[in-house]
Structures are given as structure tokens and as C-alpha cells.
Amino acid sequence: MDSALLLTLLLPVAVVSHVVNLPSKVLFKVGDRRELTCSILSCPETVKFVWTPLEDRPIFATVKPQDKESMLVFDSVMKNHENTILCKATCGKETKQAKTTIKVYSFPTNPVISGHDRLKLGEEATLTCEVSSIHPSEFLEVEWLYGDKVVYSDEGEPDRDAFSFSYTFTPSSEDDGKAITCRVSLNVDGIPSEEMTRETSVHMNVLSAPHNVKVSGVTAVPLGSSLNLTCEAEGKPKPAFTWTALKPDGQSVEMGKHQVLFVQDVSLSDAAPPMETLIVASPQTTLKEGDSVSIFCKSTGVPVTHVVLSRRVNGVDAELKSSKGAETSHTIPSVKLADSGTFVCEAFNEYGSQRTTLNLTVEAHLLEVALQPDTEDVLEKGSNLVLSCQASGCPQPEFSWKNLANNPILRQIKTDGFQSQLIFDLVELEDEGTYLCEVTCGSIMKSKQTNLKVFSFPTSPVVKNSGPSLVGEMMKLTCTVQEVFPANLFQILWMDGDRKMHSETGSFSSGTINLTSEYSYRVNTEDQDKRITCKVLLEMPAAQAVKTASTALSVHYPPRATRITVSPLMELKEGESMSISCLFDSFPVGRMVLSRVMDGVQTELMTSDGLETVFTIPSVKLDDTGIYICETSNMYGSQNDSVEITVKAPPRNTTVDIFPSTDVQEGQNITICCRSVSFPPPAVVLSKLDSEKNVYSLDGVFLLINLTPNDTGLYQINVTNDLGYETETFTINVIEKRVNPPLGWNDFLSLAICLGVASALLGVVVYVWRARKKGSYDLTKCNPSTV
Ligand SMILES: *[C@@H]1O[C@H](CO)[C@@H](O)[C@H](O)[C@H]1NC(C)=O
Ligand SMILES: *[C@@H]1O[C@H](CO)[C@@H](O)[C@H](O)[C@H]1NC(C)=O
Ligand SMILES: *[C@@H]1O[C@H](CO)[C@@H](O)[C@H](O)[C@H]1NC(C)=O
Ligand SMILES: *[C@@H]1O[C@H](CO)[C@@H](O)[C@H](O)[C@H]1NC(C)=O
Ligand SMILES: *[C@@H]1O[C@H](CO)[C@@H](O)[C@H](O)[C@H]1NC(C)=O
Ligand SMILES: *[C@@H]1O[C@H](CO)[C@@H](O)[C@H](O)[C@H]1NC(C)=O
Ligand SMILES: *[C@@H]1O[C@H](CO)[C@@H](O)[C@H](O)[C@H]1NC(C)=O
Ligand SMILES: CC(=O)N[C@H]1CO[C@H](CO)[C@@H](O)[C@@H]1O
């Protein structure tokens, strides 16, 4: 049990590492001797100590090492001992460190007050409180106390050693003998409270020249009696008294040096004419016009019977006031410049009189007038304006407003002290003009003026156009801007984008007018939807305004650029597909009719209400050959375009007719008619298959004459054009007739060629080329009866 407890107590001791003992901060007083100890008490052996300054200055101290501690000794603390110092202690293999901050203060003496002992009554004086050897000086605070009341306070500033704090005041007689204190505090944490604040108190000594001198005592006494006169006066140091008699002959004779003058056996020669006659202006002799002033006329010293206060005008005194007794006064409630001049106070008694003069100066005020807005202002009709007139340098200015055209001012005027305002609630054109603010201050009058200009530009312009126009015609555009003024400063610009097309300036008018500009514009197809802008500009010297409006043009025109196109080609083979498209441009959009003309007959294929249409034939036939016309139209006109389309086909439906028959007697003639459908027209070739002889025909008719049995055989007709051919075969049989000799192939050929002429003569219609119209080449009507 015991051993277990011991173990728990010892165990922490064994693991705890060494502790460096060093205070983290210390405060030293300048001049003291101080020590700073760093130690590791738990180290079983000798500790090695190293002191390092952490601030950029040496430590300035002596090190006293011992076994387990090291001591820094500061013999006499100085300001430069302020530092942060690291103490590194090594105990065996373990090194530990701690740091301390040293702060130093200095506040050794009480403040010293000077300037308090020779204060003069009524004269501004400065007391000085000085302190020195202060550190840290930024924590210094100073207060001047008059009795218990703080009358002044100030603070120190860094890095200064000595301070001098002043207190300026004008001593009065009550200040005499009163205590004034200068209290200085150094507000640094850690300074003992009794050293933190030091103060010095002194008593003020207020000196004054003799004043409030009064003579008392009975001054009218019977001849031969005695009298006591007492002189009283204040002053510090105590005033000395001297009695002087001013004799009527101008001599002055000293009568005594005590406060009380005792005159025994008074004689006539002791009587005196008025003395100490005073004239005083209150509050002062130099005044500004309109000030109030009182002039006091008073005689002291000896009894007087009456006093007269006069004004000297052209060297002659004009009485203002007179009164029995020793004093009188005259008050001027509002002085004028003309009140400047000399005032005379004259006191009388039976022994004579005394006069004194006073020069009163009345000055004019330095009146200044300012008007806002200055010189000129441009305003919009309906806006608000306050003309504000300020007077300075005059206690009671009088304002008046004038219109230079001498028109009555019907607007509200608000005057308040040094400012008068002319208020325009809703500015009208009639408010234009020059306004004058006139300020009167006593005899001075000054004025300022400003010129008001009014414009009216309340709304944006309105643009109208005469409606849709046909290309090439004139479109009339009208731009109106209402209620403008002054019209001659307005400009109307017609703009096409940034391009100026036309401009017009308003002409002079006395009131607001509606300004209109007309612009005629020749319209073009490109102008469709174009925006034309009417820009209205007001250009006054101090105001610019722009308002705009625009309109979009609507241009009408008849169909144009009508174009018909065929795809893929204008020459086609039967069975191919074909598209015919027609497009055009017109406004408003018109109507389009597509038709085909063949044989002079026009067939309408389709109509459409658009600018483009496509007509498709998926498989063309010979019949589709023809002239295709696209005719476009709207209310303003029509246009057309055409294209010729040719359809080709190889020969087909070929038939061969033989007249009179395929079996003939020798010597007889045979006509062969061949019919075929094709385009372009075919060439027809007749050949006898067992010979190599061929006969061509363009018209498809062959005439075989004077046949012989040798002509018997198989014949072939070959109908050919660019696109192909078709053949037909047939047999001719010639029965022999033993009378005439047979003809050769050459005879047959020549005869056949002759047939073209012969058939015409015979009126045999061998073919009708209706193909131009019908798209086929048809050989028909080999009329058997005529052959
Ligand atoms: C003047 O003063 C003296 C001394 O104080 C006194 O004896 C004398 O009676 C006084 N005379 C008059 C007229 O008051
Ligand atoms: C008063 O004014 C007059 C005339 O201007 C001048 O002669 C005189 O010296 C002035 N007096 C004083 C006390 O200034
Ligand atoms: C201007 O136009 C407006 C509206 O059309 C009209 O009421 C006004 O009387 C016109 N003013 C003048 C001065 O013509
Ligand atoms: C096509 O236009 C021409 C001239 O533009 C005109 O002479 C002709 O009659 C028009 N044809 C048709 C079918 O409209
Ligand atoms: C061509 O012959 C066919 C029959 O073989 C007939 O259907 C067609 O109508 C004929 N065409 C013409 C143009 O005669
Ligand atoms: C056959 O034609 C020839 C020439 O046109 C003519 O002279 C002759 O008489 C004709 N023969 C007969 C039998 O018609
Ligand atoms: C028909 O005539 C064409 C063109 O001359 C030729 O190419 C073709 O072979 C002929 N047909 C026959 C069956 O002879
Ligand atoms: C009239 C004529 O030309 N007849 C001839 C037919 O052919 C035989 C044999 O080829 C000839 O001998 C004939 O003269």
C-alpha cells in the first residue's frame, strides 16, 4: 500500500523535464539598479546559460553566473535597456529557453509652472508647464486645472524627452490668488500608482494699474470751512495717491499724498472749473452703417452745473442734448455715413468750462451680392427655376428684384435674411428676360443680373407618309414637332440611316409653333421597308436637344424579274421528268399563270398566288412540246417570260401501206407509204434484202415503177432518227409477162426518185408535218384511190 502511493507520487517527478525560471516581462525605472535572474533549479548539475538579445541592440548588462542560475545586473537602468532577451539554459543534454521583455520608464520630477506670477489684468497671458526626462513619452497626458475644473488637456508624443504645455487665457481680477494646477500622468502599466501622476499647483498673481478711481466727499462748502475729499482706486500692487489742484491759470499744485485730502479754511482759490470731462461712444467710435451708438458726456472731479453734448458741423457746434448735472447722453439707433464727424462734450460750472471731443467714424458695409444662376440660364418651358440672390457683408440687406424690360414680376419672391429667391414654378415663355437682384445696405447698392432664355421642345416629332407608293413615284413625308420655341433655333433633318438627305430650319416666331417639314422622296424598289428618320435638333448656346421619329417606307411595284426556267433541260426525251419553275418580284405579291402554247392554242396549266411556283411533269410526252409562258401580274401591271420545250422520241408505231398491192403484173407500178411517230423527223430507207441497194426517202413514200419479176423479193423499211430506228419488212411479188423486156434496178431507182415530184403532181398527200404542233412525224394518207 505504502509503496504503491510512493510510486504514484514519484512517477510524475521522474518524467517532468526541467523548467527555466524567468519572468516574461519586467518594468524598470531609469536610474535604478536591477537584476534579472534565469534559473533551472531542478538540474542536478551545473547549468550552462546563454543570454541573447532578440532586438537589434546589445544587452548592456553584466552577467553573474552561478551553478543553477545566471543573473543579469543592470547597474543603472537606462532607456536603451529596453529589449527582449532570450535565456538559453543547458542542463546535461537538455537545452531549455525562456524570454523576457524589459520595458523602461522615466518620470523623475514634478512639472514646473512658469508665467503665473506677473499676470496683467485684461492682457492675454500664457502659462507654461514643463516636464522633462519622460519615457515612454507617447503615454504622457497633461491637464491644466483651474480649481477642480479641467480647462485644458493634451498628450505627449513618441521619442521626446521634454515637453512644454501652454495654457493661454486673459486674467480677470477674480483670477488673482486662485490656484492653477498642472497635472501630468505617465499611463504605463506597472508603474506604482504614486509615481504615475505628478502635479504642481501655483497661485496666480494678477497685477493691475489703478482703476475705478473715485473721489468722494462734499465739494461745495462755505468759505473758510474745512473739507475732506477721499480718493478710492483699485489696483495691484496697491495704488499710491497724489492730490493735485489744477488752478484756473493752468498751474497744477500738489496738495497731498494720502488717500484722504483734508482742506482747512477753504478759500476761493481752492475752487476749480470742471475737470475730467469725458466723451465716450459706446460700443465704439468706429461703426458700420446701421449700427446703434450711444455717446456719453460726463464730467467728474469737481462739481459742474450742466453739460452740453453737441455735434460740430462746419466748425460750429450744434447742441444735441444738454442737461443739468454732470452727465448726459445721446443715442443714435441706426447710424448713417453722415453721422461721421466730431462730437463735443462741454461741462460748465461757475468757475469755467471744459470741453472734450470725440471723432465718430461710420463706415459703409462691404456689401457683396451673388446671384445664382449667374449671367445666363437656358430653361425648358414647364421646368422649375429658383433665382437665388445672396448678400454678404451687410447685417440687414434689402432686396429688390427687377426685370430689365420693366415688366412687372408676377412670380413669387421669398426673402429670408441674407437671401432672396425669385421662384419660377412652371417656366413660361413670358419669363424670358434679364432679371436683376438689387441689394441695398445703407448707402450702398449693388446688383447682379442674369439672363433667362426659355425653350419649348416637349414632345418627339411625328412622321407621316402619304402611304404606299409605286416605284418611281414621289412619296410625301411630313414631320411635325409640336409646340416648339424658339423655332428659328430648331432644325429638322431627314436622315436615311446616317445620311442626311434634307434639312430645314424653322423661322422666327414670337410664341410656340408646330414646326413641320415636308420631304418628297422618289421611291425605288430598294427602299422597301427602309426607315427614314426625322431628327429634330435644338441648338441653343447652353442647351442642345435632339428628338427623333422614323417611318418605314412601303414601296409598291408591278411584277419584275419574271423568269421561267426548266430543269433539267429544255430538250428532253419522252418519259423523262421535267420541272418548270417561275419566279418574279412584285409588291404587293401578285398572281402567276403558267400556260403552254401549241398550234397557236394557249392552254392554262396552273395559277398561283406567290412569287415562285414549280410545275412538274414526271414523264414527258411528245405532246408536251411547246412554248411555256409564265405570266405574272399584280394591280400595277404584268410581265411574262417564256421558254420552248422540245420532247424527242425515237420512231414508233411505224406502218407501211403498199398500193395497189404486193402482188403485181410485170410492168406495173407500186407505191409504198410509210407512217411513223417520232421527233425529230426520221429518215426512211427502203432496201431489198437480197441486194445491197437502198433507197432513201425523207417523206416516207417510195414509188416502184415498171416492175420485173427480178424485183420479186423481201423488202425492208428502216425508219431512223437520232434516238433510234424501227423496221418493217414485206414481200413484193411480180408476175412475169412475156411481152416486154424487164427493167434493171437502175431504172427502178431513177423512177423512184422521180416519184417525189410525181406524187406531188398526183396530189398524193404523203405526209403532213404536224409535228411542230403535235410533236410527231406522221406519214399518212397515202390515198390508195389516187395512187
Ligand atoms: C475731516 O477728517 C478729520 C480726521 O478724520 C476730522 O477730524 C474732521 O472732523 C473732518 N472734517 C470734516 C469737515 O468732515
Ligand atoms: C478729429 O477729426 C478732426 C477733423 O478730421 C481732426 O482734426 C482731429 O484731430 C480728430 N481728433 C481725434 C481725436 O482724432
Ligand atoms: C399644334 O398642334 C396641336 C395638335 O394638332 C394643336 O392642338 C395646336 O393648337 C397646334 N399649335 C399651334 C401653335 O398650331
Ligand atoms: C408577253 O409580253 C409581251 C411584251 O411584254 C406581250 O407583247 C405579250 O402579249 C405577252 N404575252 C402574253 C401571253 O401575255
Ligand atoms: C402506237 O401504237 C400503240 C399500240 O401498239 C397504240 O396504243 C398507240 O396509241 C399508238 N400511238 C400513236 C401515236 O398512234
Ligand atoms: C408507171 O409510171 C410511169 C411513170 O409515171 C408511167 O409512165 C406508166 O404509164 C405507169 N404504168 C402503169 C401501168 O400505170
Ligand atoms: C436501220 O438504219 C440504222 C441507221 O442507218 C442502222 O443503224 C440499223 O442497223 C438499220 N437497221 C437494220 C435492221 O438494218
Ligand atoms: C429483165 C431482166 O433484167 N431480166 C433478167 C432477170 O434475171 C435473169 C438472171 O439473173 C437475167 O437473165 C434476165 O436478163
Distance 732 CA to ligand 6 centre (A): 18
Residue 771 has pLDDT above 70, yes or no: no
What pLDDT does 783 receive?
Answer: 42
More confident call, 744 vs 671: 671
Res 245: pLDDT: 78
117-131, 351-365, 370-384, 767-781: range with lowest mean pLDDT = 767-781
The pTM (predicted TM-score) of the whole model is 0.46
Q: What is the three-class DSSP state of 745?
A: helix
Superfamily in which the 25-105 domain is placed by CATH: Immunoglobulins (2.60.40.10)
Q: Which residues contact 739 (CB under 8 A, 6 or more apart)?
A: 667
In the reported structure, the alpha carbon of residue 104 is separated from the centroid of ligand 4 by a whole-number distance in angstroms of 121
Domain locations along the chain: 25-105, 112-204, 208-270, 277-363, 368-455, 462-553, 556-647, 660-774
In the three-class reduction of DSSP (H, G, I as helix; E, B as strand; rest coil), residue 772 is classed as helix
pLDDT the model gives residue 480: 95
Q: Identify the residue with better confidence: 4 or 324.
A: 324
What pLDDT score was predicted for residue 786? 30
Q: Please give the pLDDT value at position 7.
A: 38
The domain covering 112-204 belongs, at the CATH homologous superfamily level, to Immunoglobulins (2.60.40.10)
Ligand (nearest to CA of 227): 1
Position 717 pLDDT exceeds 70: yes
Is the model's pLDDT at 22 over the cut of 50?
yes
Report the length, in residues, of the chain.
787
pLDDT at position 754 is 29
Pairing of strands 683-688, 419-424: unpaired
User: Which atom of ligand 4 is found nearest the CA of 629?
Assistant: 13
Domain 556-647: which CATH class?
mainly beta
Centre of ligand 3 from the C-alpha of residue 242, in Å: 100
CB atoms within 10 A of CB 708: 19
| pLDDT digits 0-9 by tens, 50-94 | 999 999 888 889 999 888 999 999 999 999 999 999 999 999 888
More confident position, 766 or 622: 622
| Confidence band, pLDDT 50/70/90 cuts, at residue 303 | confident
* Nearest C-alpha neighbor of 627 from the set 654, 604, 646: 646
Q: Kindly report the CATH number that applies to the domain delimited by 660-774.
A: 2.60.40.10
Residue 29 DSSP code: E
Residue nearest to atom 12 of ligand 7 (CA): 718
Count of other CB atoms within 10 angstroms of residue 720: 18
Report, at the CATH architecture level, how domain 277-363 is classified: Sandwich (2.60)
Q: What DSSP character marks residue 681? A: P
Residues 6+ apart with CB under 8 A from 748: 704, 705, 706, 707, 711
Query: Given its phi and psi angles, is residue 413 left (phi above 0), alpha (psi -120 to 50 degrees) or beta?
Result: beta
DSSP assignment letter at 315: T
User: Which candidate, 621, 538, 606, places its Cα nearest to that of 572?
Assistant: 621
pLDDT at residue 139, as a whole number:
94
Q: How far is CA 158 from the centre of its chain?
A: 47
Question: What nine digits make up the cell of 487?
Answer: 423655332
Judge whether residue 449 has pLDDT over 50.
Answer: yes
pLDDT confidence of residue 236? 86
Residue indicated by cell numbers 412652371: 426
Residue 666 has pLDDT above 60, yes or no: yes
Q: In the predicted model, what is the mean pLDDT of residues 103-120? A: 92
653 CB less than 6 Å from ligand 5?
yes
CB 140 within 8 A of CB 185: yes
Strand order in the sheet with 531-540: 499-505, 490-496, 531-540, 543-552
Distances (CA, A) of 188 to 26, 81, 153, 195, 386: 12, 17, 18, 10, 61
Over residues 219-236, the pLDDT tens digits come to 677 777 888 888 988 888
C-alpha cell at 756: 417525189
Q: How confident is the model at residue 131 (pLDDT cuts 50, 70, 90)?
A: very high
How large is the average pLDDT for residues 498-526?
90
708 CA: nearest ligand 8 atom:
1
Cβ 354 vs Cβ 378: under 8 Å? no
Distance CA 704, CA 747 (A): 10
Check: CATH 2.60.40.10 for 368-455? yes
Task: Return the pLDDT at 137.
Answer: 93
d(CA 299, CA 324): 12
What's the pLDDT tens digit per position in 26-36? 999 999 999 99
Region 387-403 average pLDDT: 92
Average pLDDT for 371-389 = 90
Ligand nearest to the CA of 314: 2
How confident is residue 764, by pLDDT bands cut at 50, 70 and 90?
very low
Ligand number with the minimum distance to the CA of 604: 4
What is the model's pLDDT at position 264?
81
Is 50 exceeded by the pLDDT of residue 522?
yes
Q: Using 50, 70 and 90 to split pLDDT, how confident is the model at 15?
A: very low
Instruction: Assign 705 to helix, strand or coil.
Output: coil
Predicted pLDDT of residue 217: 77
Q: What is the pLDDT of residues 232-290, one digit of tens each?
A: 888 888 899 998 877 666 677 888 888 898 888 777 666 777 888 899 998 888 998 88
pLDDT of 191-211, one tens digit each?
998 899 999 999 999 998 888
Question: For the segment 552-593, what is each residue's pLDDT rounded down to a tens digit?
Answer: 888 888 999 999 999 888 899 999 999 999 999 988 899 999
**Which of 601, 627, 640 is the best mutation target for the ligand 4 pocket, counting ligand atoms within 8 Å of the beta carbon and taking the most?**
640
Q: Please, what is the average pLDDT of the chain?
A: 85
Q: Would the pLDDT of 42 be above 50? A: yes
Q: Which amino acid is at 493?
A: L
Would 25-105 and 368-455 be classified into the same CATH topology? yes
CB atoms within 10 A of CB 253: 10
* pLDDT score, position 250: 67
Residue 262 Cβ contacting ligand 1 at under 6 Å: yes
CATH class of 462-553: mainly beta
User: What's the helix, strand, coil split of the chain in %, to 5?
Assistant: 10, 55, 35
Q: Residue 341 in contact with residue 320, Cβ under 8 Å?
A: no
